[in-house]
Amino acid sequence: MQTTPTKIDSIRTKNAIFLFIFKSLQGRQATENETTNTIDEAEILKLAANWGKYEDKVLQRSPAISTHHTAFTDSLRENCSLLFTEDILAFCLKNNIYNECCKYHSLFMENFKNIRGIHIYLSEDPEIPNYQHISFILTVADSIENVLVYEDYFTERIDKEIETEKRKFFIYNYNLV
């Protein structure tokens, strides 16, 4: 008989997945105690996005478990603040755009392939006084043709998922490597 996963089951699963991620990204048999090695954030976030899509499919098939199931990606969604500096967080709170900022970051990870890094900072428009926005600079290892295709998908999703008046607080650009 199939049972509904408990919160403890979910936590154990998350811990096993995190350990698997660390081992896989390091290309060797790492342990929980080896945390000084660098971890590729882009790879972890892509895996989390894929896992989130899988969870969504499972929950659509079995909606009864959704109230008991703790999603693997919840910690990334709830703690995307770890990606931002204090000045960015303050700006987000001041303008009520925290969720949109997290959404921008996750949509970059979902729609652009071969991301090597995302630099996020608060910037001011040189031509418009007192107009600040959050800048995302993506480093992408791909051809310009592919990046333009990714950008089309990204723009389509942004248009659907983020209100027009909140989009003015964000800009992005990319560097090809």
Secondary structure (DSSP) of 31-44: -TT---S---HHHH
pLDDT over 50 at 106, yes or no: yes
Q: What pLDDT score was predicted for residue 22?
A: 55
Percent of the chain whose pLDDT exceeds 90? 42
With a cut of 70, say whether residue 130 has pLDDT above it.
yes
pLDDT at 123: 93
Contacts by 114-122 with C-beta closer than 8 Å and gap 24+?
A: 114/140, 114/141, 114/142, 115/42, 115/139, 115/140, 116/42, 116/140, 116/141, 116/177, 117/41, 117/42, 118/42, 120/83, 120/84, 120/85, 120/88, 121/85, 121/88, 122/85, 122/87, 122/88, 122/91
pLDDT at 176 > cutoff 60 = yes
| Span 107-111, average pLDDT | 91
Mean pLDDT, all residues of the chain: 74
In this predicted structure, the answer to whether residue 54 has a pLDDT above a threshold of 90 is no
- Work out the average pLDDT over 122-131: 90
Amino acid (one-letter) located at 40: D
d(CA 111, CA 155): 9
Tell whether the model's pLDDT for residue 3 goes beyond 80.
Answer: no
Domain edges within the chain: 7-78, 83-176
The whole-number pLDDT of residue 49 equals: 63
CATH topology of domain 83-176: Alpha-Beta Plaits (3.30.70)
Residue 150: name the closest of 107, 116, 106 by CA.
Answer: 107
The better pLDDT of the pair 8, 122 is held by: 122
Q: What is the pLDDT of residue 152?
A: 95
CA torsion angle for 15, 74, 22, 35 (degrees, to 10)?
-80
Average pLDDT over residues 85-110: 92
For residue range 135-151, what is the model confidence (pLDDT) as tens digits? 999 999 999 999 999 99
